[in-house]
Structure formats: structure tokens, C-alpha cells
Structure 1
């Protein structure tokens, strides 16, 4: 037997006591949960206790029984009233019945009359519960059937669009969520979503949660709130208006989710990807190429990596495009190092092996860690071998100058010959040789001029040309500055010494 709760409201204490004790309530499956002697107190207690049945006097201080019915039913529409009164006025009875009271009893009441009214009230309650249960089961069945149609269409089942068309009668959008906690957070998340979205279908497909909402405008804000509570990523499709486009919406949401997961983003919308277009990424490729063509410093690589990663995140590039960008940056960097420092062996193997490594990375964070590790290893390798590289370069440069000092020397030509920037060559030479390239060339020219002055009968103008000077006057100035004597004085002194020996 179902148990029901009864609340009694009457301004006469003796009536309350009689109703409480004279009727065997438990035999009817009823428990008295409370009483009140005025209308206001009765309303407050009814709202608090939420009984199934109310036995109330029509006339009470503070609020009449009729007023009590109207106000109590606002918060509890299924509440069943039995009205009692000391008056047998038709108007009271008519009004009570209009307010859906089950019965109207006139004092003094016999126990049999009360029992009969209570049984009538219980029948009404049970009928309502049965109707509610039936309605709930029917609604559940309809919802499950609708979910089945939507899921079949979502997964591309044949002939599913006809059934789903009856369900997706409004504009809709799809979303796919992938939570960091995996299945542990799915149940709580789905409860949270259902509380916020009335018209929404939820499914678990493999490791992700799929939502199809007939409230597309509300779906976006719902997803943002969900991701604040449940860490993860989500992809949101554009809005669609025809049921047959549900598989398209699903693919859009999955594509957006890939970007979100790869870039460690929260919510990514498919419409954003469409706005950026397929051409995105080419500008960054050009910037990378220009960086190395203009002799970008290795010290600036950190900044270049930051710009590349920021570009990928800001433009929400696909995983493939992001990998191409990062691979291009590292490939140019390594080629720059191999060329700049004349490395005989490729530090990280062939390009295709490098790209295989890039292809195996799953997120932008992994790409960033790989890039930074590669640059760090390359720079460490360079630091460990820099001395031998520099020594070899300086040796070859000095040898070149010894062979060509009598020719016009132009820094730009030296740079092209040794595949280095003129500024780099000058800086490296000064640090290693202790003098500038031009000071070294001048010393070579002066040594050669002195040798010819001491050992030949060539004219000074001829010696000037053989030493690499086209201007006789300038040669005299440079020679005196370096020896303290003019070429003629130097020859005279050394000829005399030779004769005296």
C-alpha cells in the first residue's frame, strides 16, 4: 500500500484533535504530517512539508480556505484538498469544487463521511501518479527513440534522415568534447549539460562526448561553462538547418576538436577555421625564409620559435599545417648552421627522418618541446666544436690573404668567397688574430715591400704596385706610418748595411 501524508488546517482546536484521533488514518495508508489553526500558518507549513492531502476549513483567520487552495497549488499543483465548513452554503461548495477540491464536508461530520472523502482523494492521487508514471514512461520512450534516430543519422546510417527529420525540426549545431579525465568525468558532465540545455541529445562515441543541440546559440556558452568545470577541449560546428546535414555538422565539430586538442585550446569553432582559409601559413613560411636570408642571429631563434607557435595558435592552424611550419623553421635553422659553420655531417640526420619525428608528435606543446630541444642540442654541439671551426676558417682566410694581398681586397667579396657575412668575418678575425683584416693585409703588404726594397733594383713605383697599391703617394704615407721611414730612406739604410757587411 502506498503511504500518503495529510495536513489539517482548522481554526477550532477541538476539530483538529477530533480529526487527528477519531479517524484510523494508518489503516488507509495515511500519516498526519502537521496541523495549523490559521490560513497563513497553514500555507507556510504546507509549502515546507509538501503533503499529499490537505483537510482545511473554509473560514480561518488570516486567510480563507479558498485562498489557501489557490496559493498552495501554485507551488504544488498536484496537492489534493478536502474542504470542511460549518456552513452549507452552495456558493462555498461551488467555489471549492471550481478550485478542484475533491469534496466539501459540512460540520458536524461523521467519520464515515470523512473516510469516504479521503478514499476519493486517494483515488485521485493514485490516478494522477499513474498518469504521471505513464506520461513519464511515454516521454522516456519518445526521447530514446528520438536519440536513436539522431545517433543513426549522426553516424551516417542509411535512410536515417527521414526519421531524424521529425526530431531535428529547428536549427541545430553539433559539438564534440574530449575530457582530460576521460570517462571519469563523463557522467557528471552530461548531467551538467542536461541541466542547462533542454533540447539536447548526448552520446558517448569512443572516448569523446557528442552533443547535438536544438539551441545552437546557447550551446556555445554552455560549452564554455562546462570547460571551466571539466578540463578538456571541445569542437563546435556551424549552425545547420536541415536534418540531413547532421553528419556534416558532426565532421565539422570533429575537425574543430582536432585543432583544439593539438593547440591545447579550450573551445574551437569550425566557423573560425573557415574564416582563416587554406592560405594561412604561407605568410609565416615567407617570414621564416626571410629571417635566414637576412642572416638571422642564432640568438634570435627563441623569438622566431615564439612567433611561429603564436601564429599557429592564433590562426588555429590544422595539425598538419602547424607541423609544416615548425619543420620549415627547424630545417632552415639546421641548414643555416651547417652552411655557416661548414659542418661536414648532418647533426640530426636526413630531412625525411627529421620530418618523420615531426609527424609522430600529437600536440602543439609536443612540437614546441621538440623544437626547443633540437635547437638546444644544435647550439651545444656548436659550442663544443666552435674552436675547430673558427681555427680552420681563420687559417684559410690568412692563407687566402697571403696569396691575394697584392690584389684589391673587398670585404663583400671575402664574404662571398667564404660564405660568411662580412661583419661576421671581421669580428671573428679580430678576435682570433688580434688585429683587423685590413691591418693584417697592410702588414703583409709592408713586409713584401720591405723585402723588395732590400733585395731588388725595382723602382719604388714598381714595388708600390707589387705590394698592392695603385697610388704611389698613398703607399709612401702608409709605409712611413708603419716603419717611420720613407721607402727611399728604408732602401738607402739597408743597402748601406748590406755593402758594409
Structure 2
């Protein structure tokens, strides 16, 4: 069954509205008509009540016209989609609507089942592609975020939610909510404590973000406990030093050995014996994981990321990044945008 897109029709001519409602099976096309309105003033009120994702609107209407209504709603919800109902003598207005962000226009004189089907399927496919892309990006960032053994902060979580900022609609919330719950549950399960997960009852993005942040802090505590049970204190100390100093270009085995009070040779042997990895492996993994986060944010150039994670040159950073991930930094970032 098709996912239904909540739709509102705003049209002041009753005969045209009735024709639109009757000429096609809207639900079969993937649209649920949740409201109608005879003018832009009532359309604004209906929008607040029903939160449609798509609005089909006439342009010339009494009280508040279609363009004014569209501007007002777009200010509140830039991601909402509009199809304009236009007569031939309103074509200049229709072009204005396109410039304001309307997807397309429907000529009233051309309305037929075939014509409407073509227009609706185009917008249906576009809207679903946009939301699918946003959800995929959200999932990738959320998984990267909660699986990163770093100290999390609310700004990082805000970056995760930026991927769906333009799609903060009630219709999308359920998908994001379920995806978030599944992702967090998997992480609790990965740490061996699935019983610690409690699925909340939430209905708003702000509440979901707050719940996620709390879960992530809980996961950090559990992760730390698991880690501390698994390794002796001196190894934990070395790990924590790396996590807090990875951004220093001169961080190396000798520096960490001095911090924990061992010779570099002794620390190297003990670290490898206890963890199965070298100190340099952990330094590199930590830097590359943090680099992924910074690249994902889209706020930094490659050379800036290189400096922020402790590499003296962007060329060397790119080489290490490729060795670890199979992609160069720019390729990794482009992959996130696709």
C-alpha cells in the first residue's frame, strides 16, 4: 500500500473543487485529502489544524489569495509542497508562485484524469525521494554519532537533526521516531544490556532529541563500565589520554607512556597484549572517527579537519583517511550528500 501524503485543496469555485475530488481516486494515487478550503484565510486555519504536506491552491480567491497564503505557510514550513491551480488568464501569477517555491501548476481548463494522474505522480515521486534521502542521511549520522566512543554534546546531536530540519512534519516524525528507537535499542543490545532500553511515548521532535541525548549519556556510562571491567586501569588511563589528546599533532607512544608512568616499550607490549591493538592504531582510529564527524557536519574544509584531528598536513591526513576508509576525505563527504 502506498504511503499517503496529507493533502489540502484550496479552491473558491465549488464546481471545480467537486470535479477535483471526484475525477480521480486520490488515495490510489497516494494522497489523502485531509481538508479543503474556499479561500486563503480559511486555508491558513486549516493548515494549522491538519498540517498537510501538499497543498493544491487556486490563486485568485476572496479574503486571502493563494500567493499570500503560500508565502505565509512557507515561512512556517519551508518544506511544504504546493501545486497551483491556474486559469490561462492567471498564468503570470502561476509563474510568480513557481518563483516562490511551488512545484508546478495545474491548468483548470486541462483537468482530466490522465492529466491529473501525471501531475500527481511527478510530485508524489519527488516528495518521497526527498524524505527517503533525508531519512537515510539522518540514520547514517545517528548511527555514527551513537557508536562513536567520544564525549557527546547537544551541539553534535543538533547536527544529526539538521539532516531533517527541512522535513520537520508530523507525517515524518513517526518514521524518525521508530528509526531512532531501533538504533538506540541496537546499541544497548550491542553493549549487552537490551533490558536497559525503554521505548518512550513521544510526539514532538524536541522531546525526541531530549530523549536521545539522555540515552546517549546512558550509553556512554554503560560503555565506560564495560570497558573498565574489560581492561586494567593503566590501559584505561592510556585510552582516556588518547581520547582527550588526539588533536595534538605530537601525540605519540612516548607521550602516553610518560603519562601512565611506564616506559614506551613496556606500555607497547602491555597495550598490545590487553587490547590486541597497538597504541598507534587507537590514535589513528580515534582521529579518523572524529574526522568523519567533522566532515559530516559540512562546516569544515579538509585542511581544517586535518588540523582539528591532529595531522600536520592535509596530504598526510588524506593518505591515512584513504587507508582507513577506502575513500579520500572529499569522496567521503560527497557520499554523505548523495
TM-score, normalised by the number of residues in structure 2:
0.46
Bigger CA radius of gyration: 1
**Higher RCO, 1 vs 2 (CA within 8 Å, ≥6 residues apart):** 2
Provide the TM-score with structure 1 as the length reference.
0.32
